[in-house]
Amino acid sequence: MSAPVVVVVGAINVDLVVAAARLPGPGETVVGGGVQRHGGGKGANAAVAAARAGAEVLLIGAVGADDTGAAALAELRADGVDTAGVAVLDGVPTGVALIVVDDHGENQIAVGAGANAAVEAEHVRETLRTVLPRAGCVLVSTEIAAAAVAAAVEAAAAAGVRCVLNPAPVVPVVAQLLGHGPVLTPNSTECRHLAALVDADSPAEGVAPPGARALVARTGAPVAVTLGGDGAVVVVPGADPCPVPPLPATVRDTTGAGDTFNGVLAARMAAGDGLVAAVRTATAAASLSVGHVGARTGMPHAAAIAAALATP
Ligand code: ATP
Ligand code: RIB
How far is residue 312's CA from residue 310's CA, in Å, rounded to a whole number? Answer: 6
Ligand minimally distant from the alpha carbon of residue 98: 2
Instruction: Determine which residue's CA is closest to atom 12 belonging to ligand 1.
Output: 258
Half-sphere exposure of 98 (CA within 13 A, CB side): 4
Ligand nearest to the CA of 41: 2
| Cβ of 156 less than 6 Å from ligand 2 | no
Distance, CA of 286 to CA of 265 (rounded, Å): 10
Write the burial class of residue 220 (CB in 10 Å: 0-12 exposed, 13-18 middle, 19+ buried): exposed
158: left (phi over 0), alpha (psi -120 to 50) or beta: alpha
Q: Is the CB of 259 under 6 A from ligand 2?
A: yes
Active site residue 259: yes
Tell me what pLDDT residue 63 has.
Answer: 98
* Active-site residue (options: 82, 90, 230, 259): 259
What was the pLDDT predicted at 221? 94
What does the pLDDT look like over 222-273, one tens digit per residue?
999 999 999 999 999 888 999 999 999 999 999 999 999 999 999 999 999 9
Q: Using a 6 Å cutoff on CB, does residue 97 contact ligand 2?
A: yes
Ligand 2 center to 253 CA (angstroms): 12
Q: Where are the domains of the chain?
A: 5-22+35-310
Residue having the nearest C-alpha atom to atom 30 of ligand 1:
287
CA of 226 to the centre of ligand 1 (A): 7
Q: Which residues of 189-211 are buried (b: 16+ CB within 10 A; e: fewer)?
A: ebbbbbbebbebebeeeebbbbb
249 C-beta closer than 6 A to ligand 1: yes
pLDDT of residue 205: 81
CA of 228 to the centre of ligand 1 (A): 4
For ligand 2, whether the C-beta of 290 sits within 6 Å is no
Mean pLDDT by 10 residues, the chain (312 residues): 87 96 94 92 98 98 97 98 98 97 91 98 98 98 98 98 97 96 97 91 85 94 96 93 94 94 98 97 97 94 96 81
Measured from the Cα of 258, ligand 2's closest atom is: 1
**Res 114: pLDDT:** 98
Please tell me the residue having the least CA distance from ligand 2 atom 6.
Answer: 40
Concatenated DSSP letters of 57-71: EEEEEEEESSHHHHH
Assess whether the C-beta atom of 262 lies below 6 angstroms from ligand 2: no
**Using a 6 Å cutoff on CB, does residue 65 contact ligand 1?**
no
What's the 254 CA to ligand 1 centre distance in angstroms?
Answer: 6
pLDDT for 201: 80
Instruction: Please tell me whether residue 284 adopts helix, strand or coil conformation.
Output: helix
The reply to whether the predicted model has a pTM over 0.95 is yes
Amino acid at 311: T
265-300 tens-digit pLDDT = 999 999 999 999 999 999 999 999 999 989 999 999
Protein residue with least CA distance to atom 13, ligand 1: 228
Residues 6+ apart with CB under 8 A from 237: 216, 217, 220, 221, 222
Whether the CB of 243 sits within 6 Å of ligand 1: no
Which architecture does CATH list for 5-22+35-310? 3-Layer(aba) Sandwich (3.40)
